[in-house]
Amino acid sequence: MSDPGTALLKQKLRGAVLARLKALPADVRTRYSGDLRNRLAPILSGTEPMNICLFAPMAHEVDLMPLLQNHPQHRYHFPLCLPGRKLAFHLVREPSEDLVPGILGILAPKPSLPLLPPEAADLIIVPGVAFTKDGKRLGYGGGYYDRYLPLCRQARLVSTAFPEQMQDALPHDIHDCTIPLILTADKG
């Protein structure tokens, strides 16, 4: 748990970055999302099927959903929030049928779908509010991913970010996970 000063700093920064993201025009978010999908393509281009953990985007986030069609050789798993601020990832084959509104209206998999054991994850695309070039991540404040990621010892961790999410520094607690690869959309 953060000390009160760090928690307040995180809360203020989270609010400022989210306001910037929500103010981005839809066409800019679409362009950024396309760029980020292209940046992920080399990681996903292999023919060997991978278990990929992905997330359904909120309106202000990068849209990676076309990856399911662009790289159909992989198995895509989406997060389901559980009691105790825990995550479980379930296999999604057909998003329009397998994803339903969950917490805060965010699309989540039906609990009846096949569960991915954490140790079977090959690649996890980790969402976040803000990032630094050296891999620090500011999440949404629930700690779901910071609890889940240590269970996935063999998974490659990647985050995708809009330029507006990149920061020079972030408050960081000992329990906050670092993401080894942050792909950032080109502002151009």
Other residues' Cβ atoms within 10 Å of the Cβ of residue 169:
9
**Mean pLDDT (whole number) for 96-110:** 93
pTM of this prediction exceeds 0.85? yes
pLDDT at 105 over 90: no
**What does the pLDDT look like over 127-155, one tens digit per residue?**
999 999 999 999 999 999 999 999 999 99
**What does the pLDDT look like over 66-89, one tens digit per residue?**
999 999 999 999 999 999 999 999
Q: What is the pLDDT of residue 3?
A: 77
Q: What is the pLDDT of residue 46?
A: 87
Question: H-type helices in the chain, by residue range?
Answer: 4-23, 26-44, 67-70, 95-98, 144-148
Which structural domains are found in the chain, ordered by start? Answer: 4-184 (3.40.50.10420)
